[in-house]
């Protein structure tokens, strides 16, 4: 019963949270979405969408182009392609997955996969029984001496 | 005074070289007087660096514009608080500040541990003083803070300084860099102890016990530094966010991640004598990532809004890192025999495995951030074409990794050492999993379909419930024995094993931070050129531009707009975003107005003026849940302080007994046994 009350409470809470989800001006939102994929070239570290440098020459130059293209019904990929052709690949906020840049995208996941393999190996090694290891300390010394003595007696 | 400062640094360099030699000779020749002399050398270098720092502060506070650093980073009308902040606001001063913190740490560490670890103290001193000597070399040769302004071969004085960068003239800048530096620099001490233990072929875990608290304190400073930086970016830069995946931001995160991995894996060494090589590697990686971060910030290898001006110190850093890394790798490889694991893994479903996975995921995250930060340089080198690796790359790669880490935060601590039974898994995870699933269904019902958002909220609830469950079960066990309120018993429980329950509180803080990160997915924003009297509607909020005022102060002139905000038609707040133009630096900047609530922040920026200069451009963000990020930071800090506090009951057992509680008891963790043992301990 207590569990179902918890589940009910959670659903109610997320319902209340869900009420606040609305969207703003559609054109501004679309423009901002495209701008988020473009790196601003005004020496700030942000995207064209988030650059707020006062009177930024680059943002103020690119944003009208994006707005005009979006208004004309041009899709996002074409807009990004046009801007890339005009300003170079450096304008894209993330490297395109082509040529050598594929390495950039693949490497983190390859490293993770490599790490998993390494982890598996370490776990297997750590799980190996240690029975084969030689006994240590004074006891081993005592037994070794006894074995050597008995072997000598045999001879 | 400038001669005194420069002389103090030069003497400091000579004395640090002497201290290295005295420490090593004292050790090798077994001469106690040389060892004692080296210890005093550490104190003397600290005194000299402190004297040089005091000299620079004197120049800053007396507006001595003959000194180039003061002329470049301060001006007469700057408030005294920012004159102090100018110490770390420029390349040369910040290196001196770094050095002063390092020398203070060395002084404290050497005097605190000189008797406890006499066998390795000579090497600890030599390593710490080598690092100090490197920074002293930097401030003596390529980046002296006491360089004078000269004209025609004569020392001259500027009439006024250029002032501190306007973006840095914010209260947060008085505390963010010191915290970050306290974190960065502090990792030198665990590194020195780790290397000294390798050199002296220590088989035990003495250095681990000594440096764990040191690492935790340093980690705490680093956490505060990184989050204060985020808060500064949020409050000052005015783009509505707090983390832009800038190379310098990334550089501050890298050592934090490896230090976090170390704080987890060190438990494996303490309790089971495992992961010894790994721990040394993590300590070394953390230290070198700190140095690497400094190199990134100061060398001009990558461009960043946070970077200092380009300077020739890059090659010094490369040389230092190369020599240091070579020495460290050699030492680790040469001493592998002393770092063998003392135990074996009994089951894949165990606390040990969860630590291994936790470390793997943390390191994968660290690697992906490092890779993304350096990839533009690598790509340009290979293809000749400039590319950008920005937020979209880091988000795509790190969000799944972060979510998996969050999952491990929930499950890891509830796995038992050695092995965990299926029954125990069911008991510990059934209700949290069901509640998380219910949340997912509920959110989906309200049209929140984004996979990562759903997963993040579900995992946050799952982890929070597993943590609360642990407190509840432990507190109930104590309540059953001693009575009292459940909250009182939870406090008692935490007091009995501060490290364990402090850790849980830290995890809860991380959950709160993840809630805040996820809230970003629901950000709403708008930007508009507005006339006085005009209204802009964003979500539930209406923004009416009520007034525009201009003002002048000695440091800057400003234009401030008054915005009356209503929520669903009801008056909510009056906000005053501002634009400033600093006289000395001739730079404009905007000051953000934030109306903070737990549910969401209303964030208003005076972003500029229309082309005709008549209408202010107002940008508005509604940032849901962002305050959970700051709240989470406070909880992380609180949890770390709890973990640092001594436990009420000192529980010391041989390793085999400590790890003896398994899934056979039916408990995911070992709280019941601990509570029982703690009771017995108290009675004793």
Could you write out the three-class secondary structure of B100-155? HHHHHHHHHHHHHHCCCCHHHHHHHHHHHHHHHHHHHHHHHCCCCCCCECEECCEE
User: B interface mutation test: which of A16, A52, A58, A134 has the most B CBs within 10 A?
Assistant: A52
- Got the DSSP string for B17-71? HHHHHHHHHHHHTT-HHHHHHHHHHHHHHHHHHHHHHHHHHHHHHTT-TTBHHHH
Q: What are the residues whose beta carbons fall under 8 Å from the beta carbon of B669, sequence distance 6 or more?
A: B413, B414, B416, B470
Cβ contacts (< 8 Å) between B539 and chain A: which residues? 20, 22, 24
Q: What is the CATH number of domain A23-91?
A: 1.10.8
Q: What single DSSP character describes residue A47? A: B
**Is some CB atom of chain B closer than 8 A to the CB atom of A85?**
no
Given a cut of 80, is residue A84 above it in pLDDT? yes
User: B interface mutation test: which of A1, A47, A104 has the most B CBs within 10 A?
Assistant: A104
B47-94 tens-digit pLDDT? 999 999 999 999 999 999 999 999 988 888 888 889 999 998 888 999
Cβ contacts (< 8 Å) between B387 and chain A: which residues? 89-90, 92, 95, 101
User: B interface mutation test: which of A126, A130, A131, A133 has the most B CBs within 10 A?
Assistant: A126
Strand B150-151 relative to strand B556-567, pairing: unpaired
Kindly determine whether residue B608 and residue A54, on different chains, have CB atoms separated by under 8 Å: yes
Task: Give the whole-angstrom CA distance, residue A61 versus residue A56.
Answer: 8
Nearest to B242 by CA among B463, B607, B519: B519
Nearest to B78 by CA among B551, B579, B584: B584
Task: Give the whole-angstrom CA distance, residue B279 versus residue B424.
Answer: 30
Task: Give the whole-angstrom CA distance, residue B176 versus residue B225.
Answer: 5
A33-75 tens-digit pLDDT? 899 899 988 877 788 988 877 678 898 899 889 999 999 999 9
CB atoms within 10 A of CB A154: 6
Which residue from A minimizes the CA distance to B384? A100
User: B interface mutation test: which of A23, A26, A32, A54 has the most B CBs within 10 A?
Assistant: A54
Size of interface A-B (CB pairs under 8 A): 180
In DSSP terms, B587 is beta-bridged to B582
Length of chain B: 684
Task: Give the whole-angstrom CA distance, residue B245 versus residue B399.
Answer: 13
Q: Which B-chain residues 8-67 have CB contacts (< 8 A) with chain A? A: none
Task: Give the whole-angstrom CA distance, residue B610 versus residue B592.
Answer: 18
pLDDT at B289: 95
Kindly determine whether residue A111 and residue B393, on different chains, have CB atoms separated by under 8 Å: no
Q: Which two tokens stand for residue B201?
A: 């072929």
Kindly determine whether residue B393 and residue A7, on different chains, have CB atoms separated by under 8 Å: no
ipTM above threshold 0.90: no
Kindly determine whether residue B446 and residue A15, on different chains, have CB atoms separated by under 8 Å: yes
Which residue from A minimizes the CA distance to B240? A50
pLDDT at B89: 86
Please name the member of A14, A46, A95 whose beta carbon is closest to the beta carbon of B393.
A95
Show me where the domains of chain B are located: 1-164, 409-521+630-683, 525-627
Q: Which two tokens stand for residue B126?
A: 């030599």
Q: Which A-chain residues 94-153 have CB contacts (< 8 A) with chain B? A: 94-95, 99-101, 104-105, 107-109, 111-112, 115-116, 119, 122-123, 126-130
pLDDT at B91: 87
- Residue B577 or A128, more confident: B577
pLDDT at A147: 63
**Is some CB atom of chain A closer than 8 A to the CB atom of B246?**
yes
Q: Which B-chain residues 274-303 have CB contacts (< 8 A) with chain A? A: 274, 303
- The pLDDT confidence band at residue A25, using thresholds 50, 70 and 90, is low
Task: Give the whole-angstrom CA distance, residue B655 versus residue B661.
Answer: 11
In DSSP terms, B570 is beta-bridged to B567
Q: Is A134 exposed, middle or buried (0-12, 13-18, 19+ CB in 10 A)?
A: exposed
Which residue from B minimizes the CA distance to A60? B611
Kindly determine whether residue A94 and residue B539, on different chains, have CB atoms separated by under 8 Å: no
Q: Which residue has the tokens 């110190």?
A: B313
B166-198 tens-digit pLDDT? 777 888 888 888 999 999 999 999 999 999 999
Please report, for residues B225, B231, B516, B520, B623, the alpha-carbon distance to residue B242 in angstroms, rounded to integers and kept in the order given.
13, 6, 11, 10, 11
Task: Give the whole-angstrom CA distance, residue A17 versus residue A7.
Answer: 15
Please name the member of B346, B461, B624 whose beta carbon is closest to the beta carbon of A20.
B624
Kindly determine whether residue A46 and residue B239, on different chains, have CB atoms separated by under 8 Å: yes
Kindly determine whether residue A127 and residue B344, on different chains, have CB atoms separated by under 8 Å: yes
pLDDT at A141: 59
Task: Give the whole-angstrom CA distance, residue B455 versus residue B400.
Answer: 10
Please tell me the number of Cα atoms within 13 Å of B274 on its side-chain side: 25
**Is some CB atom of chain B closer than 8 A to the CB atom of A2?**
no
Q: What is the pTM of this model?
A: 0.85
Task: Give the whole-angstrom CA distance, residue B250 versus residue B244.
Answer: 9
Task: Give the whole-angstrom CA distance, residue B332 versus residue B194.
Answer: 10
Kindly determine whether residue B375 and residue A95, on different chains, have CB atoms separated by under 8 Å: yes
Kindly determine whether residue A119 and residue B371, on different chains, have CB atoms separated by under 8 Å: no
Given a cut of 90, is residue A151 above it in pLDDT? no
> For residue B117, which phi and psi values (nearest 5 degrees)?
-125, 50
Q: What single DSSP character describes residue B583? A: T
Q: Which two tokens stand for residue B578?
A: 């501002």
**Is some CB atom of chain B closer than 8 A to the CB atom of A64?**
no
Positions in chain B whose pLDDT score sits under 50: 653-654, 656-684
Residue B249 near residue B369, CB atoms below 8 Å: no
Kindly determine whether residue B438 and residue A115, on different chains, have CB atoms separated by under 8 Å: no
Cβ contacts (< 8 Å) between A108 and chain B: which residues? 364, 367-368, 371-372, 397
Kindly determine whether residue B397 and residue A108, on different chains, have CB atoms separated by under 8 Å: yes
pLDDT at A137: 52
Percent of chain B topping pLDDT 70? 92
CB atoms within 10 A of CB B232: 20
């Amino acid at each position: 019963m207590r569990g179902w009350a918890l589940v009910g409470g959670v659903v109610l809470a997320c319902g209340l949270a869900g009420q606040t989800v609305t969207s703003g001006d559609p054109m501004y939102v679309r423009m901002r979405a495209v701008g988020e994929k473009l790196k601003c070239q005004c020496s700030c570290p942000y995207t064209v969408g988030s650059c707020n440098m006062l009177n930024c020459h680059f943002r103020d130059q690119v944003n009208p182009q994006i707005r005009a293209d979006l208004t004309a019904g041009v899709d996002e990929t074409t807009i990004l392609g046009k801007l890339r052709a005009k300003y170079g690949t450096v304008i894209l906020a993330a490297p395109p997955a082509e040529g050598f840049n594929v390495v950039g995208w693949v490497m983190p996941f390859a490293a993770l996969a490599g790490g998993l393999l390494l982890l598996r190996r370490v776990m297997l090694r750590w799980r190996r029984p240690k029975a084969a290891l030689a006994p240590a300390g004074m006891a081993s010394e005592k037994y070794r001496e006894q074995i050597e003595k008995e072997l000598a007696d045999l001879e | 005074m400038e001669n005194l400062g420069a002389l103090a640094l030069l003497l400091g360099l000579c004395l640090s070289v002497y201290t290295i030699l005295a420490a090593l000779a004292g050790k090798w020749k077994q001469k106690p007087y040389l060892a004692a002399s080296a210890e005093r050398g550490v104190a003397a270098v600290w005194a000299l660096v402190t004297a040089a720092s005091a000299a620079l502060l004197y120049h800053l506070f007396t507006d001595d514009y003959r000194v180039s650093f003061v002329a470049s980073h301060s001006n007469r009308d700057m408030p005294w608080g920012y004159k102090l902040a100018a110490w770390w606001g420029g390349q040369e001063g910040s290196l001196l500040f770094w050095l002063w913190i390092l020398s203070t740490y060395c002084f404290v560490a050497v005097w605190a541990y000189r008797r406890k670890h006499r066998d390795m103290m000579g090497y600890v001193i030599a390593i710490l003083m080598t690092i100090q000597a490197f920074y002293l070399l930097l401030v003596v040769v390529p980046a002296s803070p006491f360089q004078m302004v000269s004209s025609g071969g004569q020392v001259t004085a500027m009439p006024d300084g250029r002032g501190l960068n306007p973006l840095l003239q914010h209260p947060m800048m008085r505390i963010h860099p010191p915290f970050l530096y306290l974190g960065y620099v502090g990792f030198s001490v665990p590194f020195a102890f780790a290397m000294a233990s390798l050199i002296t072929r220590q088989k035990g875990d003495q250095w681990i016990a000594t440096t764990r608290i040191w690492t935790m304190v340093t980690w705490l400073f680093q956490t505060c530094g990184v989050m204060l930086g985020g808060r500064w970016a949020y409050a000052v830069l005015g783009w509505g966010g707090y983390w832009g995946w800038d190379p310098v931001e990334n550089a501050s995160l890298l050592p934090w991640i490896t230090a976090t991995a170390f704080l987890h894996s060190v438990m494996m060494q303490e309790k089971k004598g495992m992961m010894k090589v790994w721990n040394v590697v993590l300590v070394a990686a953390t230290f070198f990532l700190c140095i690497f971060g400094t190199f990134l910030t100061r060398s001009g290898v990558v461009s960043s809004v946070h970077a200092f001006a380009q300077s020739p110190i890059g090659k010094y850093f490369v040389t230092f890192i190369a020599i240091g890394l070579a020495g460290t790798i050699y030492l680790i490889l040469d001493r592998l025999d002393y770092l063998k694991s003392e135990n074996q893994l009994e089951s894949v479903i165990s606390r040990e495995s969860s630590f291994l996975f936790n470390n793997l995921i943390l390191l994968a995250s660290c690697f992906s951030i490092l890779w993304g930060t350096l990839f533009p340089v690598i790509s340009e080198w290979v293809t000749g074409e400039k590319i950008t690796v920005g937020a979209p790359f880091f988000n795509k790669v790190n969000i799944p990794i972060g979510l998996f880490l969050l999952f491990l935060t929930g499950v890891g601590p509830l796995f038992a050492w050695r092995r965990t039974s299926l029954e125990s898994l069911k008991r510990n995870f059934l209700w949290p999993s069901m509640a998380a699933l219910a949340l997912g269904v509920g959110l989906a019902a309200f049209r929140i379909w984004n996979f990562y958002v759903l997963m993040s909220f579900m995992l946050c609830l799952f982890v929070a419930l597993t943590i609360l469950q642990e407190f509840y079960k432990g507190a109930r066990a104590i309540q059953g024995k001693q009575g009292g309120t459940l909250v009182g018993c939870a406090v008692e429980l935490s007091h009995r094993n501060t490290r364990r329950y402090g850790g849980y509180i830290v995890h809860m803080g991380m959950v709160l931070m993840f809630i805040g990160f996820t809230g970003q997915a629901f950000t709403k924003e708008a930007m508009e050129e507005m006339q006085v009297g005009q209204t802009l509607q964003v979500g539930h909020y209406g923004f009416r531009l009520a007034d525009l005022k201009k003002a002048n102060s000695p440091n800057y002139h400003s234009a401030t707009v008054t915005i009356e905000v209503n929520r669903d038609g009801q008056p909510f707040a009056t906000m005053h975003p501002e634009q400033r133009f600093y006289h000395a630096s001739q730079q404009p900047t905007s000051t953000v107005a934030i109306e903070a609530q737990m549910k969401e922040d209303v964030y208003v920026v005076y972003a500029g003026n229309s082309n005709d200069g008549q209408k202010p451009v107002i940008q508005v963000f509604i940032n849901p849940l962002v305050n959970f990020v700051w709240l989470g930071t406070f909880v992380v800090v609180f949890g770390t302080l709890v973990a640092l506090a001594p436990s009420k009951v000192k529980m010391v057992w041989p390793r085999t007994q400590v790890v003896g509680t398994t899934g056979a008891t039916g408990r995911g963790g070992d709280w019941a046994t601990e509570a029982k043992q703690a009771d017995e301990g108290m009675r004793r």
